[in-house]
Amino acid sequence: MFLMRENPVLQRELLVNLRTARSFVLLLVFQMVLAAVVILAWPSEVRLDLSENTESSRRLMLVDMFFLGNFVLASLMAPSFAAGSITGEKERKTYEMLLASPLHPTGIVWGKLVAALTHLSILVFASLPVVMLCLPLGGVSFYEVLAAYAVLVSCLIMFGMISIACGSKFRRTSASLVVSYLIILPLVMLVAWAWYASSSYGEQRVSMFLSLFPGLAAAITIPLFYRTAAKLLYPPDVGSGGQEVLDLDRESEQAVGLVIQRDQFPDRLFAPPIRTTLMNDGTNPVYDKEMRSEIFGQGTLMLRMAIQISMILAIIPMAVCLYIWPELSPWYICYAILFNVLVGPVFSAGSVTSERERQTLDLLLTTTISPWQILWGKLVSGFRVSGVLTGFLMWPVVLAMFTTFDLFSNLPAVVAWFVIVVLTCAMTASLALFCSCIFRKTSTSLIATYILILSLFVAPVAVNFFVQNWFDGSPAAVVTHWTTIASPFAAAHEFPIFVSEGAGGASNWQRVTAGTAGSLWGYRMVDLQHFLGYLVSTLSLMGLLLGSMVWLFNGRWRVASTQG
C-alpha cells in the first residue's frame, strides 16, 4: 500500500502525465479512429447469413482486426510513455537527487511503471465499449474478448517494463526509445501472428491466451523489475547531473559481442574517431562536429546494441525470404525499411533541439556559417549514420542475387529496392530534422517524427487493406490504392522476384509476364507507374521539407523562438 498511496514518484508522474493537453488529445484521436473503423465496416444488411462465405460473414473479421489494431497501436505507444521515465531524470539533472532520496529503488521503479501505464490503461479500457458493440455480429464470444484484453494488458505491462529497463541503461531518451522499439517490435509481431493464426481454434485459443501469454509476460516483467531496481540501488559511478563516468577504452575491453573500431572501415563510416587535429580549409564545421561527436554521450553502446539486435532479428527473415522462398523477398526489404524507420530518426531528431537544450542555438545562428551549411551538415550526418546502419541489412540481397535469384531477370527489382531504401533513409532523416526545427525538446521531436512516419508510410497501407477487404471494387478502392505511392512498404512489393519453377515451388516469372501487354523487362507498366509515383512523391516532399527548413533558418528568429 505504501508503494501505491504514498509514493511521491507515482503521484508526481501522474500529475504531470494526466494533466497535459497531449493526454486528452491522444484519447480523443484514439477513440475517433477506432469508432470510425467500426462504423465503416458495420454490415448494412438487416439479417446476416453466417452459414455461407458471403460479404456478411467476411465482415465478422472486424473483431479480430479491431483487437489487432488496438494491440499494435497501444504497444507502439508504450515506449513513448515509459522509455523516458528514468532518462528524463538524467536529462533534467535530477537523477542523483532521486537516488539520494529515502524512497526505496523498488518504489521508484514501481512509481515510474504504474505512472507510464496508467494513461495507456485508460486508452485500452476506453476502447472496451466499442469492442462490445461488435459482439452482436457473432463469430466471437465474450470469453475471447476477455482473453484478448488479458493478453493486451499483460503485454503492455511487459513492454512498459522493457522500456524502463532500457531507460536505466542509457542516458538519452532517444537511445532508450529506439532500443525499446527494436526489442518490443518482434514481440508485437509474434503475439499478433499467434492471435491471427489461432482464430479458428475457439476454446483452445481462449485457454492459450488466458494462460500462456500472461505467464510469459510475467516471467519477463518480474526479473526486469528487480534487475532495474538493483541497478538503482547500486548505481555505477555518476558525475554531475547524473551522468555516468565512462572510460571509453575500458568500455571497449568489456563490451560483449560487437566492438566498434572507430578508426577502421566500415566503422568509421558511421562512427568516425574524435578529431585531434585542426580541420582543413573549406570543411563544414557543423557536419564535422555532428559526425565526430559522441551522439548519445555514452560511447558506442547504443550503436552496438542497434546493430546486434537488428542482425539477430534479421536471421530468420533473411533465411526465409531470400533463400527458402525467394518470392517473399519484398518482405525482407520491408524489414530493412522498418529498421530504418525505427533507428533513422534518432540521429536527426535532436539536431536542432539539442542546440536549444544546450542554449547554443542563438550562438550558432550568429556565426558566419550560412543556414544552408547548418542544414546540410546536420541532414547529411544523420543520413550517413542511418544509411550505413541500414546498409548492413542489404548485403544479403546482393549475395542472394548470385546464389538464389536469376541475376539478369531480377536486376531491376534489386536496383529498385536499393533506391527505395536509400530514399527511405533520406526521408526519415528529413522528417526528423524538420521536427527538430519545429519543436523545442528532443523527446517531443522524436515522437512527432514517428507519428509523421506512421501517417506517411503505414497509414495509407492500412487504409488500403481495410478498403480492399470491405469495399472491394468501389471507387474508394482505386483512390486508396494510389495513396500508397508515398509508402516504401507498398513500393517494395511492386517489384516481385522472378523465380524458376523449381525455386520455392512457384513461377512468378510466368505469373507476371504471361499475356501482359506493355511490359518492360518483364514488369507491368502499372507497377512501374506506382514505383515512379513513389519516386516523384518522395523527392517532392523532401524538397518541400528542405525549402521550409531553409525558410525557417533564413528568418533566424523563427528557429530561435520556436515553442514545442
Tens-place pLDDT, residues 95-105: 878 888 888 88
Q: What is the pLDDT of residue 146?
A: 81
Look over the chain and give the mean of its residue pLDDT values, rounded to a whole number: 75
Q: Which three cell numbers stand for residue 544?
A: 518541400
Q: Tell me if 430 is assigned to some domain.
A: yes
Q: What is the pLDDT of residue 430?
A: 94
- What mean pLDDT do residues 10-29 have? 72
Residues 390 and 465 in one domain: yes
Instruction: Give the best-scoring range by mean pLDDT among 7-11, 302-306, 338-342.
Output: 338-342
- End position of a domain, from candidates 213, 242, 271: 242
CA angle (425 as vertex; 419, 427 as ends), nearest 5 = 100
Q: Does residue 288 register a pLDDT over 50?
A: yes
Using N-to-C axis directions, what is the helix angle for 84-91 and 173-197, rounded to 10°? Answer: 170
Pick the more confident residue, 546 or 409: 546
Q: Give Cβ neighbours of residue 385 (< 8 Å, ≥ 6 apart).
A: 270, 271, 291, 295, 347
Residues 311 and 234 in one domain: no
Instruction: Give the best-scoring range by mean pLDDT among 8-22, 174-188, 253-267, 400-414.
Output: 174-188
How do residues 145-173 score in pLDDT, each as one tens digit? 788 888 888 888 999 999 998 888 877 77
Query: What DSSP state is assigned to residue 253?
Result: H
Q: Does residue 23 register a pLDDT over 60?
A: yes
Q: Would the CA dihedral through 30, 35, 38, 40 be positive or negative?
A: negative
Q: Tell me if 323 is assigned to some domain.
A: yes
Query: What DSSP state is assigned to residue 244?
Result: B
Question: Grid cell 510469459 — which residue?
Answer: 216
Pinpoint the alpha helices (H) of 127-247: 128-132, 142-169, 173-197, 203-233
- What mean pLDDT do residues 106-120 have? 84
- What mean pLDDT do residues 550-559 have? 74
Q: Which three cell numbers stand for residue 187?
A: 514481440
Q: What is the pLDDT of residue 137?
A: 61
C-alpha 395: how far from its chain's center?
22
Residues 197 and 338 in one domain: no
Instruction: Give the best-scoring range by mean pLDDT among 300-304, 382-386, 399-403, 505-509.
Output: 382-386
Residues 205 and 191 sit within 8 Å (Cβ to Cβ): no
Residues 238 and 345 in one domain: no
Q: Which three cell numbers stand for residue 407?
A: 541475376
Q: Tell me if 446 is assigned to some domain.
A: yes
Q: Tell me if 384 is assigned to some domain.
A: yes
Pinpoint the alpha helices (H) of 392-406: 395-403
Instruction: Give the best-scoring range by mean pLDDT among 269-273, 376-380, 495-499.
Output: 376-380
Q: What is the pLDDT of residue 505?
A: 40
- End position of a domain, from candidates 242, 260, 281: 242
In order of 73, 114, 126, the CA distances from 78 in angstroms are 9, 12, 16
The pLDDT confidence band at residue 559, using thresholds 50, 70 and 90, is: low
Residues 423 and 323 in one domain: yes
Residues 187 and 319 in one domain: no
Residues 226 and 316 in one domain: no
Pick the more confident residue, 538 or 78: 538
Residues 269 and 260 sit within 8 Å (Cβ to Cβ): no
SS3 (DSSP) at 335: helix
Residues 80 and 180 in one domain: yes
Q: What is the pLDDT of residue 510?
A: 37
Beta bridge partners of 519: 524
Q: What is the pLDDT of residue 1?
A: 45
Q: Tell me if 532 is assigned to some domain.
A: yes
Instruction: Give the best-scoring range by mean pLDDT among 3-12, 88-97, 366-375.
Output: 366-375
CA distance 486 to 534: 5
Element (H, E) at 77: helix 62-82
Q: Tell me if 294 is assigned to some domain.
A: no
Residues 327 and 178 in one domain: no
CA distance 333 to 414: 10
Q: What is the pLDDT of residue 465?
A: 79
Residues 453 and 431 sit within 8 Å (Cβ to Cβ): yes
Q: Tell me if 285 is assigned to some domain.
A: no
SS3 (DSSP) at 20: coil
Q: Does residue 251 register a pLDDT over 50?
A: yes
Question: Grid cell 541503461 — which residue?
Answer: 169
Q: Does residue 557 register a pLDDT over 70?
A: no
Q: Does residue 447 register a pLDDT over 50?
A: yes
CB atoms within 10 A of CB 273: 12
Pick the more confident residue, 42 or 441: 441
Q: Tell me if 502 is assigned to some domain.
A: yes
- What mean pLDDT do residues 349-373 have? 83
Q: Does residue 143 register a pLDDT over 80?
A: no
Residues 6 and 76 in one domain: yes
Residues 230 and 319 in one domain: no
Element (H, E) at 556: helix 556-560
- What mean pLDDT do residues 392-403 have? 82
Per-residue b or e along 1-12, where b marks 16 or more CB atoms closer than 10 Å to that residue's CB: eebeeebebbee
SS3 (DSSP) at 300: strand
Q: Print the domain residue range for 511.
A: 303-560
Q: What is the pLDDT of residue 53?
A: 46
Number of domains composing the chain: 2
Residues 548 and 434 sit within 8 Å (Cβ to Cβ): yes
Q: Does residue 256 register a pLDDT over 60?
A: no
Nearest in space to 374 (alpha carbons), one of 552, 558, 564: 552
Residues 230 and 307 in one domain: no
Q: What is the pLDDT of residue 255?
A: 52
Specify burial of residue 436 (Cβ count, 10 A radius: 0-12, 13-18, 19+).
buried
Q: Which three cell numbers stand for residue 296?
A: 548519445
Q: What is the pLDDT of residue 425?
A: 93
Q: Does residue 409 register a pLDDT over 60?
A: yes
Q: Give Cβ neighbours of residue 326 (< 8 Å, ≥ 6 apart).
A: 400, 404, 405, 497, 499, 503, 504
How do residues 201-240 score in pLDDT, each as one tens digit? 667 777 777 888 888 888 999 999 988 888 887 766 565 5
Q: What is the pLDDT of residue 506?
A: 41
